[in-house]
Structure 1
Amino acid sequence: MSEVKENYLYSEEHEWVKITEEGTLLVGISDFAQHQLGDIVFVELPEQGAALELGASVGTIESVKTVSDLYAPVSGTVIKVNESLQDSPELVNSSPYEEGWMFEIQIDGDVNDAVSKLLSAEAYSRLVEEA
């Protein structure tokens, strides 16, 4: 069974969001998603400074099985990308919630409003159980 972390929020496309102490949002893909993809061999991330729109494709995740789009779970500006994934994309498999994070977003406006449509850990657990 896939790990679903408490205190994280989730999109229906299997991205996770964690609100940082600074009020920015870290984004990655869920343990469920990395299991579905298999061994990840390449990650294409949005560029630092890129303006992201909710639901837009912002990159790709390539595994030995398939290529999957990475979607923006919220709108905002990319302030940081996880450079470690360029040389070690397998971090997404081994540590999807910690070392395998993908990018950090600064929200224009209220963070709580931006994440209000995302799923709680409990709701996301129900979603992946039905998959």
Structure 2
Amino acid sequence: MDCLFCKIVEGTIPSAKVYEDEHVLAFRDIQPQAPVHTLIIPKKHIPTMNDAAPEDMELLGRILLAAQKVARDAGLADDGYRLINNCGRDAGQVVYHLHFHVLGGEKLGPLNVKEQPDR
């Protein structure tokens, strides 16, 4: 498999790890979009959120709890942080291995989301 994040999990590509357990890995993004920008990934290869299956429910919970710990350890818990998952090309997903971005360390502006008409 030619997956960048799988290679990081295997250790064949180095990363600046900030958290690791048997199911989840967190490391600093090499192109940070905020003073703190960490990626949280499952060690199991799941291409997108749409590919997560019912049997991945516990793993998804572990990812969210890892994100909480990473944010707390980085000093972001009190002032706030953003947790983002881009799912698919139109959402901006570049690496097709499920991952979440933890962003913080400054006041983050609003997301660039189009207004939805009232329904």
Common fold, TM-score beyond 0.5?
no
TM-score (norm 2): 0.28
Larger Rg: 2
Judging by fraction of residues, say which structure has more strand.
Answer: 1
